[in-house]
Structure 1
Amino acid sequence: MVTKVFIDGEAGTTGLQIRARLNGRDDLDFISLGEAKRKDAGARKEALNEADIVILCLPDDAAKEAVSLIENARTRVIDASTAHRVADGWVYGFPEMSSAQRQVISGASRVTNPGCYPTGAIALVKPLVDAGLVPEGWPLTVNAVSGYSGGGKQMIAEFEDTDAPGHTKEAYRAYALSLAHKHVPEMQKNMGLQNPPLFTPNVGRYAQGMIVEVPLQLWALPGEPEVVALHETLAEAYDGQRFVSVAPEDEIAATTKLDPEQLNGTNELKLFVFGNPKTKQARLMALLDNLGKGASGQAVQCLNIMIGADEALGVNL
């Protein structure tokens, strides 16, 4: 059976990456609008209702509008925007988040694709909260650095196009200084926390790839968990997963630096537990491609689950 797919916002950064991953598939039939019709409400509404699965790669308001145009109960949606990440009736599209998540995604009519930063943070923290090693009320900090592609076309132009308004030669940029980043609500909800984490995102002068870090003062946690207990808990949580892995202890011991670009072009998410048993401190770190497992690769993985295809089909560039 061939599935009709419409990528609304196909010309954007995420849309282009999704289409590149899906090209050449004989189980998919694409509905595409020419440049002249992409902003034609009638043409978009027709495409949205003709498709079996719609993938929204739009700003939040435009994504909400697109959903409102769907009148066909058969049309299923994967939304890559932030618009529905904590909305009722939407399934969170992180298949490895729990043992039941794949099954829920497979039958969902509305799936919200996770943010790139939350994908790493949730993967690191949720199993520890579930296991009681980190209390639900614990004050957590999430530090992260991403390539500038995460900011979309405007930020890409800022860093790459010397003629673009606001062109910058910055090597590194700290942002979201108001402590109100739009990814925080989905982090809090899906980590299982009572309070929002302190989130400190940053952008480096490189195109894509990211590191997400959660530092822990183990001596302050109830029970003072050992570094090895954190590692064992995460390793057990993701045992047998195809795209989420935990670096073994010998690899961690030999690692002296992490390159945020290391997993670019893949749908992989790799977790590390660095720690010092003497000082009872730990640095939990997640490595991923912000355009892969953090966006387009994850969306393709969810699409595969929803149509019953091989989960790994086309998730890597």
Structure 2
Amino acid sequence: MELFNDIGTFLAIGFALAVIIIILKTARIVPQRSNYVVERLGKYHKTLDSGFHILIPFIDKVAYQHTLKEEVIDVAQQDCVTKDNIQVGIDGVLYIQVIDAHKASYGVDNYRNAASQLAQTTMRSVIGQTDLDKTFEERAKINEVVVQALDEAASPWGIKVLRYEISDIALPDSIKDALEQQMRAERERRAAIAKSEGERQAMINVSEGQKQEVINLSEAEKQKQINEAEGRAQEIELIATATAEGLRKIAEAIQTPGGKDAVSLRIAEQYVGEFGKLAKTNNSMIIPAELSNVGGAVAGLAEVLKHSKS
């Protein structure tokens, strides 16, 4: 009896294990953003989306499991030769995504390795058509060209190439030294240009200042001459006005009683006074022929005043 009990226990345990194995082989839970590829008797049967699924034990088998999330693949450094025959090392990062689990399972053996190798060969081709200087200046354009080529080639594999980024460009030491010398020379050239431009601007500023100074001086001299001319004109006008006013008053005085005699006396006084000055300023004595006839001279001047009034 004990023997039969032991056999029953072993059978029960074996049956329980068989049930557990069947359940494990039958029930499948697919996580979110994942696809499972199911084969039935070694042949593709269907693709399981996220959720709970029941399979036929020992007949159906989950052959491939794919994530639909964006994957990041580090592309190993590779040696590339530029168009101007400079060897550089290129490191890159590739971003891909599975969009068809069936193609990703049967289109290529390992789509990650295939995408990485294709990225390396495409990068070598693109770098070979680009000069070294453009390699640094046009990274975005190079990345775009690589992505376009990879996406076309990877389409039968059921994957989408989203982006490719050059993470580093390694240069030989000799090229680094040459580039440093070139950049140093460029900085010195820019410094020399900036210095010459500053000196040129300083000379321009000085000449402009001198020019403005000359203009200001000429304008001041011009204004001075105008002011002096206006002053002389006003002086002449005032003298003429005063002279005319004096003559008018003399003429009015002549018409008054005794005016003519006063004028005659004044003329005689001035005549004698001017003659005296003339005698003092010369070594020789000048005596007019009609000195005794001073009255006749005064009368003649009075006659002239009379005619001037008329």
| TM-score, normalised by the number of residues in structure 1 | 0.18
Q: Which has the larger radius of gyration?
A: 2
Structure with higher RCO (Cα < 8 A, 6+ apart): 1
| TM-score, normalised by the number of residues in structure 2 | 0.19
